[in-house]
Chain A
Amino acid sequence: MGFFHTVWTIARKDLVIESRSRELAYTTLFFAVSVVLVFSFSFVVEGVALTDAAAGILWVSIAFAGTLALGRTFERERQSDTLKAVLLSPVERPAIYIGKLVGVLLLMLVVEAVITPVVGLLFQAPIDRAPLLLVGLLVTGTLGFAAVGTLFAAMLIRAQSRDVLLPVLLYPITIPLVIAGVRGTAAIFAAEPNLAVAQAWLAMLVFFDAVFLTLALWVFGPVMGE
């Protein structure tokens, strides 16, 4: 099997499982919407949202929902020891990693496709001001988050207290992504938008993705070796 064929087979397996139960899509989505709601109580003062609150709320709910999705995706693999079966199959390790990553990434993008309009609606954020740039920020930010998250969730699959350790490890390392995502989105949403600033943050996200994907591909093999 070629590399991309393996990637697609693994990603499709996850998507088929998900499309039959829709467990992750529904729970993650509902969770993300509740996070948005919880934040609105702290950042809406006298009916008006604080400056840049919309961008922050959007990205924090993405990060929270993403952690939930990552944990559950790999919990599924652990229950019937299917990750071991996948690792035993004669395919390249990087292809397995990318396959899992594509599955997580697509799920997170579906969630974002719903909560971004919700945030836009509830906080009067102009999500249609620079749609391509916003989508670029969301996709690159999510890719970086999912790249680090998939690696860590896969590594922690046999560890004790993995549910707690995943966010503990993931959040400090993805802080640059959150800063870039929030600042870039805030630059688009601001009363006086600054698209050049948003583009600079997008460039940083692309660079981060490139470095962390390369590292993850290198690390995944040895760590999942045994």
Chain B
Amino acid sequence: MQNRSILVPVLLCAAAVMFFRAPFMIDAAPYESTMGLIQRIFYFHVPSAMVMFLSALVCGVASAVYLAKRSPHADAVAVSAAEMVVVFGLIVLVTGPLWARKAWGVWWQWDARLTSALVLWLIFVSYLLLRRFAGAGSEMVAAAVGVFGMANVPFVYWSVNVWRTIHPNTNVVASLIPEMRVPLYWGTAAFLLLYIALLLTRMRLEASRMQLEAAYAEIED
């Protein structure tokens, strides 16, 4: 616990510095020939989407560990990661339509990536609703939802992909010119640092909450 209290401020400072530097790097990157200025939202949109999927994976694995071993620590990781999916998912779902309005002329398209990101986001919102409203003993149910949510990602992706696709695909990243790739990686690293800092902070909050609950239970006994 002690080293974590230093780790989080360090991570946050590093992320803050990187986020401060990011606009200058993005400004230095060349304009995309057809989309112009609006393409620059991509440097925030893509990293937050990556963090969102990573966080869903973290939540699913932590939920599976909790189901198998019942360690409260795994549950704390799962609930923190689920909240981060919703937070970073919100960034994705706000920046995406902003870009789409300019590039496609509409705020929303029923495209594969958009729909699967929305479905994934909804699964984790339902996870949080469950934890908030199901009352005592909802941890196990929530863990099952976490596992099912993670297992569902490929199905959602595949089914929506066959249904329809117009979103630029992931090959875009490999085809980027280096001047565009560097700010993207920079942004990804900044979002990752921010994610880890937030996750650790939220886990510490959850640990304190559990301690408090245990202390209450002890008094009542």
Contact = CB atoms under 8 A, between A and B. Distances in A.
Interface in B38-89: 67-68, 70
Interface string B144-157: 11011101100110
B147 A155 contact: no
* Chain B: number of interface residues, binned into ranges: 20 to 34
A165 interface: yes
Contacts of B130: 159, 165, 168-169
A155 B145 CA distance: 10
Interface string B120-158: 001100100110011101101101110111011001101
Question: SS class of chain A's interface: helix, strand, loop or mixed?
Answer: helix
Contacts of B143: 223
Nearest to A174: B152
Contacts of A176: 152, 155-156, 158-159
A168 B149 CA distance: 13
B141 A156 contact: yes
A151 B155 CA distance: 19
Contacts of A164: 133
B151 A155 contact: no
Contacts of B134: 156, 159-162, 165
A185 B137 CA distance: 40
B24 interface: no
B140 to A, nearest CB: 5
B1 to A, nearest CB: 28
B152 A173 contact: yes
B140 A222 contact: yes
B160 interface: yes
A212 B17 CA distance: 44
B22 interface: no
A208 B152 CA distance: 9
B119 A223 contact: no
Nearest to B144: A219
| Most chain B beta-carbon contacts within 10 A, residue among A151, A161, A183, A226 | A161
B138 A159 contact: yes
Contacts of B119: 172, 175
Contact of B135 (A159, A173, A212, A223): A159
B216 interface: no
A165 B152 CA distance: 19
A158 B135 CA distance: 9
Contacts of B149: 173
Nearest to A179: B159
A168 B129 contact: yes
B138 A173 contact: no
B133 A165 contact: yes
30 contacts: A148-B148, A152-B144, A155-B140, A156-B134, A159-B137, A159-B138, A160-B135, A161-B133, A161-B134, A165-B129, A165-B133, A168-B126, A168-B130, A169-B130, A169-B145, A172-B119, A173-B145, A176-B156, A176-B158, A179-B163, A183-B163, A204-B158, A208-B155, A215-B148, A218-B67, A219-B144, A219-B148, A223-B143, A223-B144, A226-B137
